[in-house]
Structure 1
Amino acid sequence: MSRPPTAAQRRVIDAADPVTGRLRGTPAQLAALVSRGLAFRHPRPPHDHFLTPAGHRIREAVPEEEAPPPVQPPATGGVFAARVGGEEEPPAAGPARLREVHSAWQGLLELRRMTNPDAAVDRPCGWERTHLVRAAALALEAGGHAPAGADGPGYRVRATPQPDAVAVHEPDEAALRACAETLERAGWQTGEHTEPRTRARYLLASPRRA
């Protein structure tokens, strides 16, 4: 794709569901996004349209002129974000958060069904492979694990130099093993390692391919 999307197309992309990439727009807008490789029409009824990986990249790339100034406070009621652990201002816990996490996880399973070639929901899809930290954190939070606070115990998911793996830190070894079991049920493969300097145990997790 050489030309950026039009303003109208960008509004449709920006309004896509943050997890599944489901689109809403006029037939002409959706057809134009499909022709540009930014969306695809699902072959099964109701034939909804969804962002392709290229469309997701467009959605997440905020141009500098559209970026909010650093002093602007974060908006309330914004897009769902999985907790990776260690956030200074984590989302409020409680029934509402549980519903959000459950809905996001169900949406991710639907995305797997729609985008994996064999419609498999037991292994990660392309979106998860390009958003490793967020995907692993969602699997853990949906599995009932507690993310770390700014200074407290709990899991922390972090990027690694390996392009296809994340590190999961959890100071409690039993909880760390439970994290490994949850990730493996969610379609990830894990291995336990020891940090040479601190001797702390951690997981390396990567999406399973088969």
Structure 2
Amino acid sequence: MTRPPTAAQRRLIEAADPVTGRLRGTGAQLAALVARGLAFRHPRPPHEHFLTPAGHRIREAQPPAPEEPTPATGVFAARAGGEESPPADGPARLREVHSAWQGLLELRRMTNPDGAADRPCGWERTHLVRAAALALEAAGHRPAGGDTDGYRVRATPQPEAVAVYAQDARALASCAATLARAGWQAGEYTEPRTRVRYLLASPRRM
């Protein structure tokens, strides 16, 4: 059985970028994570280090360290719509969303077998709501919040599928087009009981 990471290694893993898994540490620390299969060194300059899927699983299984900021205090979190305490809108948020989206595209290039950036990667398939919400927010869609209309992304019982709601048919169609450009496939459905229209969206595989 593989030995669990040390406390110092756990701190590095927990401090990794929440979207891209990019790591910061000394050469020896990063090399030790690579040796354990928890990180990899990108072959292209500047040869950054990133968490592997095994590293991401360890990161997500660990409670945040006491000194680690929560999403409400600084760590980027995609807005799925309807959050009680959403991050403030403004230029800073726009920069954060843009940076997160560019990081996700780079993660696609690094982890998709063919290096494709136009198709969702493994991380997105295990973080469906966050990934779909980031694609929508990065494209300029506004999430619902308080009395504000906008999109809402919700988990579904179906594997690799999320439900996306919007204020009207036009907004729903716009969300579908955005997700298609981001590498998702989305179709419109109607809830039998409420007759509310929504998108059922899944990451495209090919």
Fold conserved (TM > 0.5)? yes
- The two structures, once aligned, show a CA RMSD in angstroms of 1.8
Please tell me whether the aligned partners of residues 72 and 85 of structure 2 are also in contact (alpha carbons under 8 angstroms): no
Cα distance in structure 2, aligned partners of 1:4 and 1:21: 19
Structure 1 stretch displaced more, 23-32 or 173-182: 23-32
The Cα of 1:119 is off from its aligned counterpart by: 1.2
The Cα of 1:193 is off from its aligned counterpart by: 0.3
Corresponding residue number in structure 1 for 2:203: 207
Provide Cα deviations, 1:157-183, integer angstroms capped at 9, x if missing partner: 000001210000113110000000000
The Cα of 1:67 is off from its aligned counterpart by: 7.2
Cα distance in structure 1, aligned partners of 2:86 and 2:52: 30
Provide Cα deviations, 1:44-97, integer angstroms capped at 9, x if missing partner: 22222110111112112234xx677xxxx9675421000000111111011111
User: Is the counterpart of residue 49 in structure 1 residue 49 in structure 2?
Assistant: yes
Give the counterpart of 2:120 among 119, 124, 140: 124
Runs of at least 5 residues in structure 2 that lack an aligned partner in the other structure: none
Please tell me whether the aligned partners of residues 20 and 50 of structure 1 are also in contact (alpha carbons under 8 angstroms): yes
- Flag the 1:40–1:208 CA change in 2: closer, same or farther, 3 A: same
Provide Cα deviations, 1:162-209, integer angstroms capped at 9, x if missing partner: 121000011311000000000000000001100001111100000001
Within a 5 Å distance, the mapping from 1:175-190 to structure 2 comes to 175-190=171-186
- Flag the 1:98–1:75 CA change in 2: closer, same or farther, 3 A: closer
Runs of at least 5 residues in structure 1 that lack an aligned partner in the other structure: none
Normalised by the length of structure 1, the TM-score is 0.91
The Cα of 1:153 is off from its aligned counterpart by: 1.6
Normalised by the length of structure 2, the TM-score is 0.92
How many residues of Structure 1 are paired with residues of Structure 2 in the alignment?
204
Corresponding residue number in structure 2 for 1:82: 78
Secondary structure of the 2:40 match is: strand
